[in-house]
Amino acid sequence: MAGVAMGWAGVSAGGWWLLVLPVSWLLTVHGMRKLGSMILHQCTHSTYASGKRANRILGEFISVLLITQEYDDYSREHVSDHHSVSHMTIDDPTARFIVEVMGCRPGMARNLMWRSLVRTLLSPIFHLRATYERLRSHFSGTSGRHRLLTAVTLAAQALAVTAAHAWTIALVVWVVPLTVLYNAAGVLRLSCRHLFPAAGQDLDGRTAIAAATHGIFLGERTPDPALRGMRRAWSWTGWWLRMILNHLVTRLFVMVGDGPCHDYHHRFPKSRNWVNYPFARRDDIAGGHPSWPAYTEVWGLRAAINEVFDSLYRADPAAYELPPAVRRSSGARAVRLAD
């Protein structure tokens, strides 16, 4: 709400006030992503509200409001293909997106995978396709009630904007964050979330779960306290700029909510302490993480993506090949950015 209000005021005022748009977009996408990748996600595990029906109603409302993947479809796919023995196989939506949509492959050099990531982020075709697939999921294979609910919601929004003569403002402050920026945040999140199993790696159960997910934290060491004079001032200036323009923006745009502690979620997906995941993870480590392997962590988004790309480089090529017909059908689902 703050992001939309700021953007609305900036576009209405025009001129130099348009410079508030990046901050407006950042706040708007942060709110959208927190609703989509955290609240809706917890609803699929029935851990947000006390009853399954309440979780479903809220999850469905969020999926319609943000035109994310339709709630029931996402819930089935997330639980059966992601939190299962299919985790980080070609049947997992996360792995399928990186391999089939981004075009990364086992044995591919890291710099080529980065090119694929950037190409995906900048591709108008990808953003059109991803947005279309998100919308289509609400009208394909869903109940008549759900299709009517979605159509009425979209029509009501269009009528309200038309009545206010505010199509330009709505496109800038709502549609851009809802489509291009939301998609971009999803691409970056999927690219850093889980590691691919190495070729010949024989892990199962808790060892496999622990090996597939890092804690991802955003920050870096402060400058050397022994520095003096201009070197000290220059080092601290650079550190603050990186903390604000890199790590803080990443926290708000990509690693929203409980994102940094996604490893704890995979160890305890039904935990109702999800609102305190950073502290729950810390306490589990302090308690010796009984019956679980040690936690691992990486610092910074770039380092986290490098870890994923390096793990894919070492993966078994045969495990991530699909026949062309299957690739076309699975690719359409993977592009929905179900995270």
pLDDT in tens, 104-141: 999 999 999 999 999 999 999 999 999 999 999 999 88
Within-domain flag for 233: no
Q: Which residue has the higher pLDDT, 225 or 89?
A: 225
Q: For the chain, give the mean pLDDT.
A: 90
Reply yes or no on whether the pLDDT at 28 is more than 60.
yes
- pLDDT for the residue 114: 97
Phi, psi of 94 (to 5 degrees): -65, -50
Are residues 67 and 178 in contact, defined by beta-carbon separation less than 8 angstroms?
yes
What one-letter code names the amino acid at 53? R
- pLDDT for the residue 332: 53
Q: Tokens in use for 299? A: 């610092």
- pLDDT for the residue 11: 95
Q: What is the pLDDT of residues 241-264, one digit of tens each?
A: 999 999 999 999 999 999 999 999
Reply yes or no on whether the pLDDT at 336 is more than 70.
no
Within-domain flag for 238: no
Within-domain flag for 59: yes
Instruction: Determine the structural domain holding residue 114 and report its residue range.
Output: 2-218+255-334
Within-domain flag for 156: yes
Within-domain flag for 19: yes
Within-domain flag for 228: no
Reply yes or no on whether the pLDDT at 301 is more than 60.
yes
Within-domain flag for 339: no
- pLDDT for the residue 51: 86
Within-domain flag for 281: yes
Q: What is the pLDDT of residues 143-161, one digit of tens each?
A: 999 999 999 999 999 999 9
How far is the CA of 182 from the CAs of 32, 87, 110, 274, 281, in angstroms?
8, 24, 25, 23, 28
Q: What is the pTM for the complete model shown?
A: 0.91
Question: What is the number of structural domains in the chain?
Answer: 1
Length of the chain: 339
- pLDDT for the residue 327: 53
